[in-house]
Amino acid sequence: MTPEIILETARGELGVKESPPNSNRVKYNTAYYGREVSGSNYAWCAVFVWWCFRAAEASELYYGGGKNANCPSLLNFHRQQKVSGDYRPGDVIFFNFSGKKNAAHVGI
């Protein structure tokens, strides 16, 4: 089943770190951008979720099969999807740390 595959894929990545620390240089960004990138413009939370869904052959569930590395626009896309409110493991979840309406972080 797809949620289990997505979670298994994500669990397999536990321990992956940026190299060097605080650089945003990770293999997920390299896969997403097609080249090695680093710096503050390359936060990788959404890219990691994209990578996991892609590796689980479930890209259509992430962003309709497309790519998106921007939390607010990804949130807007998912707001347009039919959601039951019965959240389950494997769902995309958005975090807001400032109390504003847009997402600042995304995970599974």
Mean pLDDT, residues 43-65: 95
pLDDT at residue 62 in the model = 93
pLDDT at residue 47 in the model = 98
Q: Count of CB atoms within 10 A of residue 51's CB?
A: 22
CA–CA–CA angle 45, 7, 56 (5° rounding) = 85
**Does the pLDDT of residue 19 top 80, yes or no?**
yes
- CB 29 within 8 Å of CB 47: yes
- What pTM did the predictor assign? 0.91
- CB 93 within 8 Å of CB 107: yes
